[in-house]
Amino acid sequence: MDFFSRTNLKADSAKVKQIKTWLTETLSLDETVTISLNQLTCHEPGCPPIETAIVIMEEAPKQYKIHKSIAEIERTDIEQLIEQ
């Protein structure tokens, strides 16, 4: 059973670029590292309605989740995510 699906909400490309910049700065990444952002909806009970999955495509990929839409993410969310 598929509990997650991509939302039909189109993320603002400027916001996506801003989040990738925050991630690059916060993680001290080389600018050539690929960063993937996917906004997902969850259909499982008790799951947040929308979350953003982040994948940093390095030799050892890193994955993060923020329980907000791309539009709602702020720099502090990135900083708190990395501190965990």
Domain CATH code at residue 31: 3.10.450
Cα–Cα distance measured from residue 84 to residue 81, given in angstroms and rounded to the nearest whole number: 6
Of 61, 69, 70, 5, the residue nearest 35 (C-alpha): 61
Containing domain of residue 78, as a range?
A: 4-83
- pLDDT-derived band at 75, boundaries 50, 70, 90: very high
Residue with the bigger pLDDT between 11 and 76: it is: 76
pLDDT for residue 5 is more than 60:
no
Given this model, what pLDDT does residue 9 score?
A: 59
Number of domains into which the chain is organized: 1
Q: Which residue has the tokens 């923020």?
A: 66
Contacts with 48 (C-beta within 8 Å, 6 or more apart), sequence order: 42, 67
Q: Is the pLDDT of residue 1 over 50?
A: no
In percent, how much of the chain has pLDDT > 90?
65
Banded pLDDT at 37 (limits 50, 70, 90): very high
